[in-house]
């Protein structure tokens, strides 16, 4: 029997979602908690791989249960939340069809990236403080061009094990959510390693007047990571939605 786990986490203290040989990961922490409660080694598979320090207000993972009785999802949520550390919370455990897959069955994922244009000690953990003016109108013009392309090699981390760098971006835009506080929303069927942070870093070049919208297009078309801007800090990035 296959179950989906919907959870959220503050990624500050973790080396990303995926199990790492040299640091604590969210996947490892959830697996240990599930294995303890179910009294059998239990592997979980996530919908994606958030990088070190990146957060998720919604992550989905699945695990398989070989027991004879159907698990009580509500009870498992309660017990998991008692066992898990304060920075990981489970919202739902539900049985799904055996062929459902947390990663491969997902049709779209949405990320948010937050920046703050004034120094704020209460935003520093979850947004990136950016000094100076930015042309968000021009940044939105550049962001809209992402929907016209499919190969995002220029925004991918080098030397990854993925077979293709093709993605379909369906929305990408900046909006001001409070005075001096902006949020970037991007939705795609899949994302490459470091893709959102590299896109935001390149859009910053547009916003500062160092790159034109046509220059942003050329970065995409060159399919070369060295052409794009620097990756922005991970602490301001959130995985916020997964659609199946």
Q: Which helix (H) or strand (E) holds 65?
A: none
* Residue in 10, 51, 99, 135 annotated catalytic: 51
Residue 4's DSSP bridge partners are 62, 94
SS3 103: coil
Work out the end-to-end distance of the chain between its first and last CA atoms, rounded to an integer number of angstroms: 19
Q: Which two tokens stand for residue 169?
A: 């971006």
Q: Which stretch of DSSP H or E encloses residue 216?
A: helix 213-222
Provide the 3-class DSSP secondary structure of residue 239. Answer: strand
The tokens 């207000």 sit on which residue?
A: 57
Residue 63: beta bridge partners? Answer: 3
- Whether 72 is a known active-site residue: answer no
The tokens for 162 are 């993925």
As annotated, the active-site residues are: 51
């Amino acid at each position: 029997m296959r179950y989906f786990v919907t959870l959220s986490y503050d990624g500050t203290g973790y080396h990303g979602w995926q199990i790492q040989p040299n640091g604590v990961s969210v996947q490892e922490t959830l697996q240990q908690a599930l294995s303890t409660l179910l009294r059998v080694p239990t592997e979980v598979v996530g919908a994606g791989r958030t990088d070190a320090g990146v957060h998720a207000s919604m992550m989905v993972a699945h695990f398989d249960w070989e027991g004879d009785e159907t698990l009580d999802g509500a009870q498992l949520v309660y017990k998991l939340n008692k066992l898990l550390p304060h920075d990981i919370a489970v919202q739902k455990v539900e049985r799904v069809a055996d062929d459902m897959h947390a990663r491969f069955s997902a049709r779209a994922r949405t990320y948010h990236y937050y920046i703050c244009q004034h120094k704020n000690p209460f935003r520093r953990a979850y947004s990136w403080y950016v000094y100076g003016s930015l042309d968000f109108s021009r940044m939105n013009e550049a962001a809209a061009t992402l929907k016209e392309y499919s190969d995002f090699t220029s925004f991918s981390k080098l030397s990854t094990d993925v077979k293709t760098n093709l993605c379909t971006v369906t929305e990408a835009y900046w909006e001001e959510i409070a005075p001096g506080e902006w949020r970037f929303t991007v939705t795609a069927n899949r994302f490459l390693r470091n893709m959102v942070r590299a896109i935001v870093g390149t859009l910053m070049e547009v916003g500062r007047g160092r790159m034109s919208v046509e220059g942003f297009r050329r970065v995409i078309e060159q399919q070369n990571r060295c052409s794009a801007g620097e990756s922005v800090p991970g602490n301001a990035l959130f995985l916020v939605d997964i659609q199946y």
